[in-house]
Amino acid sequence: MPTKAQEEFVPPPATHITSISFTMLTGGIIILHATLDNFKDSLNFVLDTGSGGISLDSATCDYLALPKKLSDKTVRGIAGMKQVEFTYNHSLHLTGLTVDNLDFHINDYEILTSAYGIRIDGIIGYSFLRRFIVMVNYDIMTLEVFTPGTFKYPRGGYLLRPQFTTLPMQPVTVRDNTLVNGKFYFDTGAGLCMLLNAEMVQDSSLLKSKKKIYPTEAEGLGGKKAMNLTVIKEVRVGPYKFRNVPVYIFDDEFNVTAYPVLGGLIGNDILRRFNVILNYPEQQIYIRPNKHYTDSFDYSYTGLGMYLINGAITVTEIMAHSPAEEAGFQVGDVVIGVENDLSGNIQSYKTLLQNARTKVKVLVSRNGELIIVPIKVRSIY
């Protein structure tokens, strides 16, 4: 009969530190507001489990006149890689919590600021998350932060045990023409459902049967990246299954996913359907379905790339044979309004353009003339 020790050492219970409200952008991107050191300016940070550290935007670093030092470290993303500078030994102040002794690497997040329409001052990743247990509640948009320790997970969810380096790598099953079991980065900083490595898709014959593939692009470290967009039949995370899921396929030229070790990443447009507990100290992630669990996926496709440039929402890309090209958009068009929304909010405009199989009126300024451009939003499913 197996024996069990009568005594064992257990860590003290995790204790609650603070509740922090957050805002959410398109695709479920989490924005936290914080200040740095003794500066009073409020800064916007993305909470990103796909970041192996913590970082500041280069323009923000210059604005605050922080000392910088070139390092021998290189960071890479979907659109590039670069040797980075660091600024050392800073304190980050969130609601009810100060985190000291943080070394920020410095990146250029101008493309993210342009895409989201709000200033992105930095990204909060592993350097923060490794110190705490963090509960992300998408129902009421708050973070609950706890000290490391014994933690009782709520009922009704599922405990994931991803492999950890600095980034969590979670087993996920994807199915279409074939079934593929692979590991994928768990990435709250990605405003999409899944990003699949093109080599993995080809080698596994996942999409061997004829599929509708749509050219598009996404933003990441290094700038914009051309990708393809399609729908796969099923994605399974733990016991939870999602049917007919939009996915992006990309050529991983900078080896972000280290294929065949990983097949890509699972992003926040799936993860936001759960309330998530990130327990990095114990290398555990707990997911529990929330009120967004049954939300419809976004199947819309316009082929229209627009960014906030010098205060104007500007058309920068038009995909060939896309609804945007068919509608007659031109690069350089300034978007003034969408339908009856004249707010100048790029997030609102992008949301209005997510209504697949509808015709949407877009008011643009072209060469000083106001023009209404109707666009028929295509469905990828």
Segment 161-218, tens digit of pLDDT: 999 988 999 999 999 999 999 999 999 999 999 999 999 999 999 998 767 899 998 8
Domain ranges (residues) in the chain? 16-146, 158-289, 300-379
Same fold, 158-289 and 300-379: no
- What lies within 8 Å, CB to CB, of 191 at 6+ separation is 25, 26, 27, 28, 29, 267, 268, 269
Q: How many CB atoms lie within 10 A of CB 288?
A: 17
Burial (CB count within 10 angstroms: exposed 0-12, middle 13-18, buried 19+), residue 3: exposed
CATH architecture of structural domain 300-379: Roll (2.30)
Q: How many CB atoms lie within 10 A of CB 321?
A: 10
Return the amino acid letter for 136. Answer: V
Using alpha carbons, select from 263, 200, 204, 252 the residue that is nearest to residue 227.
252
What is the CA angle 47-52-57, rounded to 5?
60
Q: For residue 8, what pLDDT is reported?
A: 66
What is the CA angle 263-226-342, rounded to 5?
115
* Domain 158-289 class, CATH top level: mainly beta
Q: For residue 253, what pLDDT is reported?
A: 87
Q: What residue ranges of the chain have pLDDT lower than 50?
A: none
Q: How many CB atoms lie within 10 A of CB 65?
A: 8
Q: How many CB atoms lie within 10 A of CB 367?
A: 8
**Using CA atoms in the order 320, 223, 271, 214, what is the torsion angle rounded to 10 degrees?**
10
Q: How many CB atoms lie within 10 A of CB 261?
A: 11
Q: For residue 7, what pLDDT is reported?
A: 67
Q: What SS3 state is found at 351?
A: helix
Q: For residue 11, what pLDDT is reported?
A: 82
Using alpha carbons, select from 46, 285, 282 the residue that is nearest to residue 184.
285
Tell me which CATH code domain 16-146 carries. 2.40.70.10
Q: For residue 75, what pLDDT is reported?
A: 77
Q: What are phi and psi of 31, to 5 degrees?
A: -115, 125
Return the amino acid letter for 354. Answer: Q
- CA-based R_g, the chain, Å: 22
The tokens of 142 are what? Answer: 């708050």
Return the amino acid letter for 153. Answer: Y
